[in-house]
């Protein structure tokens, strides 16, 4: 089974590049299941249900979440519904839903878990990520074919150790939230696929999908301003493909990076 995990889809530029890349990539690579980080889909903050439907029509099957997931309230009922393919972080107490769900792919049960790292920019209420995943793993059904854990956080050290902590216990641990990809996709010693950060989808010449004009004065002079969405092309698409053999063993993890003018 081939699983594609797409990094943070940053607003309309992110949706655009997904529409340009995903249908062909799915065909060429014979992808069976597509997961995407959804916390920035609607104007950078949260995901509206209408935008979720647009992405489903483009081929996204399942949506993980992060620190922005709770910012659009209409998603809350879907986060709580076990049959709706969207989750928020399992260790974020004010996020509706338990933070992990099953999805059936070609008759096989896949479990997707969303966990937030200890730091994600602003202070946010959360519980310990390692302690929370320890609570979740024993609850996952024995007949689960693959377990994909998304780790959404800032500290590179924590993103690395989260992979090693789960090595041999889950199929893959995919990091995001940085919007900048790392070049360390690998299979860890006990068989778990890992990448520290998968990167983002959206405007390339930007700071995480935000215009440089709005962000530089903030860093240089302490100007308090709002994020201005970067919409100029070229656009970037960042993802990983995790290939899982029929016995559940990970064959490979491959980084996909596309820049389109």
Q: Is the peptide bond before 223 cis (omega within 30 degrees of 0)?
A: no
The region of 28-36, 37-45, 162-170, 210-218 touching Fe ion under the rule CB under 5 A is: 37-45
| Nearer CB in complex with Fe ion: 210/250 | 210
Cα(26)–Cα(244) distance, rounded to whole angstroms? 16
- Binding residues among 134-193 for Fe ion as defined by CB under 5 A: 177
Cα(87)–Cα(37) distance, rounded to whole angstroms? 10
**Of 16, 43, 69, nearest to 210 (Cα)?**
43
Binding mask 39-58 for Fe ion (x = CB under 5 A): -x------------------
Minimum distance of Fe ion from residue 89's CB (angstroms):
10
The one among 67, 114, 171, 203 contacting Fe ion by CB under 5 A = 67
Return the number of other C-beta atoms located less than 10 Å from residue 139's C-beta.
9
Minimum distance of Fe ion from residue 148's CB (angstroms):
18
Would you count residue 66 as binding Fe ion (CB under 5 A)?
yes
| Nearer CB in complex with Fe ion: 66/88 | 66
The one among 1, 5, 7, 8 contacting Fe ion by CB under 5 A = 8
Sign of CA dihedral 15, 20, 23, 28: negative
Q: Which two tokens stand for residue 222?
A: 């302490």
Minimum distance of Fe ion from residue 154's CB (angstroms):
9
Q: Rounded to 5 degrees, what angle do the CA atoms 114, 115, 116 make? A: 130
DSSP state of 232: P
Residues making contact with Fe ion (CB under 5 A) = 8, 40, 66-67, 177
């Amino acid at each position: 089974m081939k699983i594609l995990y797409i990094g943070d889809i940053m607003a309309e530029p992110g949706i655009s590049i997904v529409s340009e890349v995903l249908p062909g990539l799915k065909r060429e690579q014979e992808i069976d299941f597509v997961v995407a980080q959804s916390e920035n889909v609607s104007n950078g903050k949260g995901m509206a249900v209408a935008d979720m439907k647009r992405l489903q029509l483009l081929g996204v099957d399942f949506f993980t979440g992060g620190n922005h997931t709770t910012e659009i309230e209409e998603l809350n009922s879907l986060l709580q519904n076990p049959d709706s393919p969207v989750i928020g972080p399992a260790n974020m107490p004010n996020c509706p839903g338990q933070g992990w769900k099953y999805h059936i792919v070609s008759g096989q049960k896949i479990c997707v878990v969303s966990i937030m790292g200890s730091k994600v920019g602003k202070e946010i209420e959360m519980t310990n990520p390692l302690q929370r995943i320890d609570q979740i793993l024993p609850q996952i059904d024995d007949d689960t074919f693959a377990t994909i854990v998304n780790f959404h956080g800032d500290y590179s050290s924590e993103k690395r150790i989260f992979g090693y902590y789960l090595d041999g216990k889950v199929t893959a641990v995919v990091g995001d939230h940085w919007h900048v990809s790392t070049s360390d996709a690998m299979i860890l010693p006990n068989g778990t696929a890992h990448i520290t950060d998968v990167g983002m989808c959206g405007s390339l010449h930007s700071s995480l999908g935000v215009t440089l004009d709005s962000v530089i004065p903030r860093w240089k002079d302490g100007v308090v301003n709002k994020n201005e969405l970067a919409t100029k092309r070229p656009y970037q698409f960042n993802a990983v493909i995790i290939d899982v053999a029929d016995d559940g063993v990970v064959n490979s993890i491959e980084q996909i990076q596309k820049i389109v003018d």
